[in-house]
Structure 1
Amino acid sequence: MRKLVFFFGLIINNCALAQSNYAVNNDGSNDYVSLPTSVAVSQLNTFTVEAWVYWNGTGNGCIYSETVQGNNSPMFSIIPRSTNGGGIELVLRDNSATGLVMQPATATVTANTWVHVAVVRTSASNIKTYINGVLKDNATFTAPASWTPTKVNAGVRWRASQSDFFAGKIDELRIWNTARSAAEIVANMFNKNLANNATGLVAYYRFNEGSSTTAANSCTNTSGADGTLTNGPTWAASPIQFAGNALHFDEGNDRVIAPLPTTATSNVTMEAWVYHQGGTGTDHLIMVNGVMGSNGYALFLNTSHKLIVLFNGVNTWNTGIGLSTGQWTHLALVIGTTGFTLYKNGVNVYSNTGTPNTPSANFILGFNTVANGQPFGGMIDEVRIWNTARTQTEIQNNMNSEIAPSTSGLALYYTFNQGIAAGNNTGLTALIDQSGNGNNGTLTNFALSGSTSNNLTQNSNLVILPLRWISFITTKQYNNVLLQWSTAQEHNTKDFLVQHSIDSRSWTNVATNAATGNSSSINNYSYLHTAPLQGMNYYRIVQRDVDGRFGYSVINSVKFNTNREGVQVMNNLIASGILLVKITASIATPVSLHSGNGNLLWRRQLAPGIHSIDVSRYANGIYLLKTGEQIEKIIVQ
Structure 2
Amino acid sequence: MKTQLLSKIKKAAWLSFFLISNFNFAQQGEALYFDGADDYVLCGNLLPGSYTKEAWVYVTNFGLSNNIISGGATDGRHAFFIPNTSGNRLSAGHNGVWTAVQDPTPLVTNTWYHVAVTYDAATTTMKLYKNGTLVASNTNVAPYTNGNMVRLGAFDNGTNLLNGKLDEVRIWNRVLSACELQYNKDAELASGQTGLVAYYKCNQGIANADNNGIIDLLDETPNGNDGAINNFLMNGTTSNFVAPGSPANAIAGTLYNTLVVNSNQSFCTAALVSDLQATGTGTINWFTSATGGTALAATQSLTTGTYYVSQTTGTCESDRVAVNVTITTTPAPTATANQTYEANATVASLVASGTNLKWYTTATGGTELSTSTLLTSGTYYVSQTNNGCESTRTAVNVTINAGSLHLDDSNDRITLGTAINAVLDPINTFTVEAWVYNTSFMNTFGYNLGSIIGNYNTSSVDMQFMLRRDGTAYQLWVNDSNGTNFKAVSVSNIAVLNQWQHVAGVWNGSELRLYLNGVLVGTTTGVTGSSFKSNLINPIHIGTNLSNEKYTGNLDEIRIWSRALTDAELLNNMNCELGASQTGLIAYYKFNQGIGNGNNSGLTTLTDSSGNNYNGTLTNFALNGTASNWSNFAAVNTGVTCSPFLAAANFETSKVAYYPNPTANVLHIENDTVISKVEVFNLLGQNVLTVSTTGSAITVDVAALPSATYLVKVHSDNETSTFKIVKN
> Which has the greater radius of gyration?
2
Higher relative contact order (CA 8 A, sep 6+): 1
TM-score, with length taken from structure 2: 0.35
Give the number of the structure whose residues are more often strand, by fraction: 1
TM-score, with length taken from structure 1: 0.40
